[in-house]
Amino acid sequence: MTGDRGVAISLFSGAGGLDLGAEAAGFTVRAAVEHNSDAADTMEKNFPHLRSPVIRRNILEVCSGEILDAAGLRPGQRPELLVGGPPCTPFSKSGFWLEWKRAGLDPDSSLLQAYTRVLAETRPRYFVLENVYALTYNNSASRPSFERLQREIRAAGYHYDLRVLNAADHGVPQARPRLFIVGAPIDEPRPQLPEASHGGIWERRHTGHTHRPHITTGEALAGLVTEPEPSENVGGRYGHLLPDIPPGENYLHYTTERGHADPQFKWRSRYWSFLLKLSPDKPSPTIQAQPGPYVGPFHWDNRRLRVPELKRLFTFPDDFELVGSRNSIQAQLGNSVPPHLASRVVKAMVGDLDDSQDAADTQDLFSTTPQDAAVG
């Protein structure tokens, strides 16, 4: 469903996860700004309602008038929705050991201001902003930027709701916490983010809704028929260790503390994701955009995840076409917002989240009927 709610414009579009959610909620994505050429190609291949080609320049060089013109909006017209997830480099937990990053000196942080500039200049009826939850941390890198972001949203004339949402708590088979901010002009009702629809154990505590369990990777991948990929085997120094690691566990299997007869690693000497293997009985851990050679999650069949499997674990449609190399596709998906979560966010924001229909939509996401899935 698209078009009933009006025109949406997309910033930092990536592979279009937020955009799919917006269109599922009834908006039509008419214009997009995305600097990465593969991601821009992906957008153009999958979003037929784009009125103009994707704007493929650094957003700092793109004026709001050009974006509105690309969407077919005349002077004085405003979009109904602005969506975007500015790159998370400055605030991601990854790399916080770098002094310049802890000090908040990453120039990419200015991309948050690019978003609020377009917000103030285009005056959409609603907006959705997504970012890593580390932006909310009380440290010298994150806190000033987070407070500035909120000041600029208020200065643009909007009130808002913000919360860290774990994708697994919203029917996505992946534990993926991200910050979401939804807003509307202060003279309109204050929008709300969705409450959890599912629940389970995450990081040794219970999260989400207590009556509907998290969707597992086994459920998500059931019936999916895929072809082997050339780069799926895990070799090198540690690849041979993967087969003996039980599903759901990681390199700690090979430690003295776990009772291994031939320990290979010291306790907590690696990142949690090192040699991490999926469990079919749990949601996937967070899937990264640029994993190292031994960074999971790996499939319980002792290989890297295939593209159709990645799409399922992010809730992209099976027929969604991703453009680029295997590494580029991993990056596009790893940086994306799961479309099902995006749909829930947008529907809740506009007051159109129907719990019974959402439950049916979630059930339909993962068919148990065997089907072929071509590599994107």
Residue 31 scores a pLDDT above 70:
yes
Mean pLDDT of 88-114: 56
Q: What is the pLDDT of residue 93?
A: 47
* Inside any domain, residue 194: yes
The strand pairing partners of 201, in sequence order, are 206
Range of the domain at 122: 6-210+338-353
* Inside any domain, residue 259: no
d(CA 110, CA 309): 34
* Inside any domain, residue 122: yes
Can you list the positions of beta strands (E) in 123-253?
A: 126-132, 158-166, 177-185, 199-202, 205-208, 224-225
Q: What is the pLDDT of residue 45?
A: 98
DSSP 8-state symbol, 28: E
Which tokens sit at 62? 């793109």
Rounded (10°) CA dihedral 232, 342, 317, 20: -120
Residue 14 scores a pLDDT above 90:
yes
Mean pLDDT of 90-108: 46
* pLDDT classification of 98: cutoffs 50, 70, 90: very low
* Inside any domain, residue 229: no
Q: Give the DSSP H or E segment for 11.
A: strand 6-11
Q: Which residues contact 311 (CB under 8 A, 6 or more apart)?
A: 317, 318, 320, 322, 333, 373, 376
Mean pLDDT of 29-41: 98
Distances (CA, A) of 138 to 65, 246, 298, 337: 36, 37, 33, 24
Q: Is 63 part of the annotated catalytic residue set?
A: no
User: Tokens 């207590």 sit at which residue?
Assistant: 210
Residue 108 scores a pLDDT above 50:
no
Q: What is the pLDDT of residue 227?
A: 97
d(CA 10, CA 14): 9
Looking at 88, 215, 278, 331, which residue is catalytic? 88
CATH at residue 36: 3.40.50.150
Q: What is the pLDDT of residue 103?
A: 44
* Radius of gyration (C-alpha) of the chain in whole angstroms: 21
Q: Collapse the DSSP code of 248 into the 3-class scheme (helix H, G, I; strand E, B; otherwise coil) and give the result.
A: coil
**Alpha helices per DSSP H over 175-306:** 217-221
Q: What percent of the chain has pLDDT over 70?
A: 90
Which tokens sit at 81? 């929705």
Q: Half-sphere exposure (CA, 13 Å, Cβ side) for 243?
A: 3
* pLDDT classification of 4: cutoffs 50, 70, 90: confident
Residue 295 scores a pLDDT above 70:
yes
Which tokens sit at 300? 């319980």
Residue 197 scores a pLDDT above 70:
yes
Q: What is the pLDDT of residue 219?
A: 98
**What domain count does the chain have?**
1
- Residue pLDDT, tens place only, 133-165: 999 998 877 899 999 999 999 999 999 999 999
Residue 95 scores a pLDDT above 80:
no
- Give which of 68, 55, 189 is closest to 125, Cα–Cα: 189
* Inside any domain, residue 293: no
| pTM attached to this predicted model | 0.91
* pLDDT classification of 267: cutoffs 50, 70, 90: very high
Residue 265 scores a pLDDT above 50:
yes
Q: What is the pLDDT of residue 373?
A: 54
What type of residue is 46? Answer: N
For helices 110-122 and 143-155, give the axis angle rounded to 10 degrees. Answer: 10
* Inside any domain, residue 251: no
For helices 339-349 and 17-24, give the axis angle rounded to 10 degrees. Answer: 50
What's the gap between Cα 60 and its chain centre?
A: 23
Mean pLDDT of 258-282: 97
Q: What is the pLDDT of residue 100?
A: 37
- Residue pLDDT, tens place only, 309-353: 999 999 999 999 999 999 999 999 999 999 999 999 999 999 999
Q: Collapse the DSSP code of 348 into the 3-class scheme (helix H, G, I; strand E, B; otherwise coil) and give the result.
A: helix
What's the gap between Cα 169 and its chain centre?
A: 14
